Structure 1
Amino acid sequence: MTHAPHSCGTGQPVLVNPHDRAVPLLSVEALREAEVAAQAALPAHTLMARAGAAAAHFLSEQLAHAPSWASDKPVWFAAGPGNNGGDALVVAAELHRAGVAVEVCMPVEVKPDDAHWALAEARAAGVPIVSSAPASFDAYGWLVDGMFGIGLARGLEGVFAELAAKLSARARSHGHVLSLDVPSGLDSDTGNVVGSGAAVRATHTVTFIAAKPGLYTGVGRDYAGAVTLAPIGIDTEDTPGAARLNAPSLFAAALPARDFATHKGTFGTLAVVGGDTGMCGAPILAARAALLTGAGKVHVGFLGSDAPPYDAPHPELMLHAAARLALDAMDAVAAGCGMGGSASARQLVDAILRLRSPVLLDADALNLIARDEALAAHVAQSADARGAPCVLTPHPLEAARLLGCDTAAVQRDRVAAARSLATRYAAVAVLKGSGTVIAAPDGRVAVNPTGNAGLATGGTGDVLGGMIGALLAQRLPPYEAALAGVYLHGLAADTLCAQGEGPAGLTAGELAPVVRKLMNRLFYPPGCAA
């Protein structure tokens, strides 16, 4: 393990905004290994001193730009009994020496050696330390959660649960709540609250050494707020088996060039298959999204008897009865949206799995596979025949059916569940939800940082399926197609929300036009060859 610089040449600690960066997301086990290796090569207390200095620098920057009601008031700290409490004490001492008024609440004295050193430093600096919290935080500006970090094994209780509730209430009402490393009470591996206890809902988190998957998936996204990474001199870039934060650097190079000499065949032909009677809107949504994500030609195959003859907003789409669609002539197939569970649907999925072209399976196609052992076995076997894995895009309930468990088990560890899906079905698994997890059968995993509650509405999954299908038709490898589709799908929702068109009332049909704009702005700017 090599050691990266702790400062950027200015004497200030390095702080990284993970936005749009494919940073590694380390498990607790990997973080412990990195920490032990670094400590063996450094003087005592160095890592805690660096962590505290980084968080103090973050707060100093925030105070310099904060409104007067926040910048002119003392910074209040909640310090726990472990090393997270030690980090808080170092931050408080650093700020106090810099002339910022601080107060530390330490209900239980810190125990580890590093934290005792930090306590001595804080006392020597003259930091006020008390054992109980004030009745009101009105006299304070920023509040800092330094109670518990990644080592928490049981839920918060007693005074620490009470403090977590008070900090969370402050975050919801006035903002300016910073958690150190991870919000206290949050499992940094899974993004779930530890045990049946409480957790701090922060507005900001400064996380040390490396980013953690739990800050980006499950409820962790809500609890962590805006995340800033402080590497504190430890290089984790090449950590074996680490998940990554999904970012354009993971998929942009796979996008096709848009040269003058290209034609519609260059960008592939996609078939969207589904739409049993009464559900024909789902494949139309998917197909429209595919068209606006750059597919050269898009066919729609309907199982139902009430299919429209053409799509008025997009007459470019070619609509057919599914049985008459020449699937073997397609560059990719996206199947399942509104498909239903009939015998005809089952036969169609079986035929699609025999194709040589890339395949995405969503919604009812996944439910058919979950209850049919022969189909399930065919998914894994078809990867060998095709030379590439299928893409499966389940929401948590569909994932639970595919894994033979309940939804709670999937949500307890979303990264592990996505890995299990990828392994069991030899497929690229896209486990949808807050912090969508994308897992490949070769072990690669990414957690997606884009998207918001605006996507919690009917049809957005169909749009995502059409987008990934279009990218498959454009000959992106399945993993990269999934990464790109998920990232742009979430970014479109974020863009609409920034414009005031969500999260409440955002509709699935609004996403694809924004995706088109984002693709062209980010990857195909005018006058630039892709």
Structure 2
Amino acid sequence: MTDAPFSSSAHFAAPPLLVNPHDRAVALLAVEPLRAVEHAAQAALPANTLMARAGAAAAHFLRERLAHAPSSVSTQPVWIAAGPGNNGGDALVLATELHRAGVAVEVCMPVEVKPDDARWALGVARAAGVPIAAAPPASFDAYGWLVDGLFGIGLARALDGTFAGIATRLSQRAARGGHVLALDVPSGLDSNTGTIVGEGPAVRATHTVTFIAAKPGLYTGVGRDYAGAVTIAPIGLDAALHADHTDNAARLNAPALFAAALPARDFATHKGTFGTLAVVGGDTGMCGAPILAARAALLTGAGKVHVGFLGSDAPPYDAPHPELMLHAARTLALDAMDAVAAGCGMGGSASARQLVDTIVQLPVPVLLDADALNLVSRDEALAAHVAQSAAARGMPCVLTPHPLEAARLLGCDTAAVQRDRLAAARALAARYAAVAVLKGSGTVIAAPDGRVVVNPTGNAGLATGGTGDVLGGMIGALLAQRLPPFEAALAGVYLHGLAADTLCAQGDGPAGLTAGELAPMVRRLVNRLFYAPKPE
């Protein structure tokens, strides 16, 4: 180990690259492949290079924020918590970089760092005169930004003792509107699953600078709430941003993954060009669900939309959208459709079960949601038909369960699904030879061939009745427009969440946002993003 000084210029020819993952289909690396990338780089680079780059990148991020912050924040010291491992070493490099740039910093290191790279960073920080204390201050009121450099992706047990206390206080500061930056991942968060490690607390940050590549746990489960706004610092290992599915890497959903599959809207097209969808469901007392789905399908671009009701109280027509064609489900010529979306408000009757069995064996794209999924989960023969029909049809069904429905389909409990949402989605895709859309915070879309995508759009405004029906109608419309099932699911999930985000930005949510408001916004977004005239 050497205590020789370092500078970011020794490791970067230019300021460190910081990547905003918004609208980018970046790779989401789990711990094992991330460690492989890291170890390969360490073998090829001089000692301490990756830690120096990580700390310099975090310092660059903070200096940019401080340069544009009000004086009430920019003139206050930055307080930095350094843990005993390499995450603490990154924090010490960050502190040294800021200190040398003239930014007042204070480091809290309850336990002295142990790994060689971190010991090197500690020596350099001490030589530079960075103030280091063993205990946190009684109050954070005198500080601008607070930095969580306690633990990274290697944490295997719950935070306790002093570390738990610091994590709780950092989260409280963020909840009161303060600025809290997590290095790599918020301490206490499982970077693979987006769950809390053990029974302890975790840091709820406002911002996260994550190193080398983004991690799936930052985008699903409670991870989205705890990570805040995520920025990627590749630290010179840019190839990790683009790891493809042959590396079994998940990916962040973005238009680049599905835009090319959307149909052209040429002049010489007609309503048949964009497909005919049947939405099937609506037992007695539940006819609103398929109406919501069908309206969403119409506004997502399907050429024609039929609704088949099982119930006896179906309306004769839909006044807001008389374009929808309403029928008794038994009278629909399902084999004449280009796609079928089944399950919303369907109920669990014997006739519903028979209808689902007929639908899954149709030679057209099929989406199963809600009650159709519950029927499949409790009927082994029906479940077998779902998996077998994929081969006969030449394409998988699309299944769109929420966590409880997913648990029923997998024969486990909801907690098991939520403990590892990516694994659960993969298991659903494998068991049913289907494209599985595991809904929730950070919806996971998994294909039978192993591709997995985590969706970054959407918010709490979607936590209201009927939004799942809207999503089913949207994906059904995209299937009718002949998108492959995986791409249809990606597009539907992304646009569904983006519509909620856009409505909330306008002040129409999250509180009080209704399912019926989503589809008109989806129509606007589809046309704005994909069909707006190109400038000459």
SS in 2 for 1:70: helix
* Matching of residues 264-279 of structure 1 within 5 Å: 264-279=271-286
Are positions 1:62 and 2:65 aligned together?
Answer: yes
Tell me the amino acid that sits aligned with residue 177 of structure 1.
V
SS in 1 for 2:424: helix
Aligned residues of 2:11 and 2:53 also touching (Cα < 8 A): no
The counterpart of 2:179, out of the listed 160, 166, 176, is 176
SS in 1 for 2:280: strand
Aligned residues of 1:8 and 1:14 also touching (Cα < 8 A): no
User: How far apart in 1 are the matches of 2:22 and 2:160?
Assistant: 34
1:48 alignment partner in structure 2: 51
Aligned residues of 1:20 and 1:247 also touching (Cα < 8 A): yes
Are positions 1:509 and 2:516 aligned together?
Answer: yes
Deviation per residue, 1:96-151 (Å, 9 max, x gap):
00000000000000000000000001101110000001111111000000000000
SS in 1 for 2:494: helix
Task: Quote how far apart the aligned CAs of 1:528 are.
Answer: 7.3
User: How far apart in 1 are the matches of 2:535 and 2:421?
Assistant: 39
Aligned residues of 2:11 and 2:52 also touching (Cα < 8 A): no
Aligned residues of 1:7 and 1:13 also touching (Cα < 8 A): no
SS in 1 for 2:60: helix
Aligned residues of 2:361 and 2:389 also touching (Cα < 8 A): yes
* Matching of residues 84-123 of structure 1 within 5 Å: 84-123=87-126
What runs of 5+ residues in structure 1 fail to find an aligned partner?
1-5
1:290 alignment partner in structure 2: 297
Task: Quote how far apart the aligned CAs of 1:8 are.
Answer: 12
168-177 vs 335-344, greater mean Cα deviation = 168-177
Are positions 1:309 and 2:316 aligned together?
Answer: yes
Aligned residues of 2:93 and 2:121 also touching (Cα < 8 A): yes
1:146 alignment partner in structure 2: 149
SS in 1 for 2:371: helix
Task: Quote how far apart the aligned CAs of 1:174 are.
Answer: 2.6
Task: Quote how far apart the aligned CAs of 1:9 are.
Answer: 8.5
1:238 alignment partner in structure 2: 243
Task: Quote how far apart the aligned CAs of 1:482 are.
Answer: 0.1
The counterpart of 2:261, out of the listed 254, 259, 264, is 254
SS in 2 for 1:59: helix
The counterpart of 2:426, out of the listed 398, 402, 419, is 419
2:307 alignment partner in structure 1: 300
Aligned-residue Cα RMSD (Å) equals 1.4
Aligned residues: 525
2:445 alignment partner in structure 1: 438
User: How far apart in 1 are the matches of 2:416 and 2:20?
Assistant: 32
1:404 alignment partner in structure 2: 411
User: How far apart in 1 are the matches of 2:187 and 2:534?
Assistant: 49
Judging changes above 3 Å, is the alpha-carbon distance between structure 1 residues 131 and 410 closer, same or farther for their aligned structure 2 residues?
A: same
Aligned residues of 1:81 and 1:111 also touching (Cα < 8 A): yes
SS in 2 for 1:446: strand
Task: Quote how far apart the aligned CAs of 1:509 are.
Answer: 0.2
Are positions 1:202 and 2:205 aligned together?
Answer: yes
Aligned residues of 1:7 and 1:14 also touching (Cα < 8 A): no
Aligned residues of 2:425 and 2:436 also touching (Cα < 8 A): yes
Deviation per residue, 1:30-70 (Å, 9 max, x gap):
11000000000000000000000000000000000111111
* Matching of residues 309-328 of structure 1 within 5 Å: 309-328=316-335
User: How far apart in 2 are the matches of 1:500 and 1:186?
Assistant: 31
SS in 2 for 1:205: strand
TM-score w.r.t. the length of structure 2 is 0.97
Tell me the amino acid that sits aligned with residue 59 of structure 2.
A
Tell me the amino acid that sits aligned with residue 333 of structure 1.
V
1:3 alignment partner in structure 2: none
Aligned residues of 1:191 and 1:220 also touching (Cα < 8 A): yes
Aligned residues of 1:427 and 1:440 also touching (Cα < 8 A): yes
Tell me the amino acid that sits aligned with residue 404 of structure 1.
G
The counterpart of 2:357, out of the listed 350, 353, 358, is 350
SS in 2 for 1:334: strand
Deviation per residue, 1:246-297 (Å, 9 max, x gap):
0000000000000000110000000000000000000000000000000000
Aligned residues of 1:191 and 1:216 also touching (Cα < 8 A): yes
Judging changes above 3 Å, is the alpha-carbon distance between structure 1 residues 504 and 391 closer, same or farther for their aligned structure 2 residues?
A: same
What runs of 5+ residues in structure 2 fail to find an aligned partner?
1-8
Aligned residues of 2:80 and 2:148 also touching (Cα < 8 A): yes
User: How far apart in 2 are the matches of 1:288 and 1:375?
Assistant: 29
Identity of aligned residues (%): 84
Task: Quote how far apart the aligned CAs of 1:527 are.
Answer: 5.1
Task: Quote how far apart the aligned CAs of 1:10 are.
Answer: 6.6
Are positions 1:218 and 2:225 aligned together?
Answer: no
* Matching of residues 352-371 of structure 1 within 5 Å: 352-371=359-378
Deviation per residue, 1:495-521 (Å, 9 max, x gap):
000001000000000000000000000
User: How far apart in 2 are the matches of 1:339 and 1:528?
Assistant: 46
Aligned residues of 1:367 and 1:398 also touching (Cα < 8 A): yes
Tell me the amino acid that sits aligned with residue 153 of structure 2.
I
User: How far apart in 1 are the matches of 2:485 and 2:202?
Assistant: 37
Aligned residues of 2:12 and 2:53 also touching (Cα < 8 A): no
User: How far apart in 2 are the matches of 1:44 and 1:527?
Assistant: 50
SS in 2 for 1:299: strand
* Matching of residues 513-528 of structure 1 within 5 Å: 513-526=520-533
TM-score w.r.t. the length of structure 1 is 0.98
2:6 alignment partner in structure 1: none
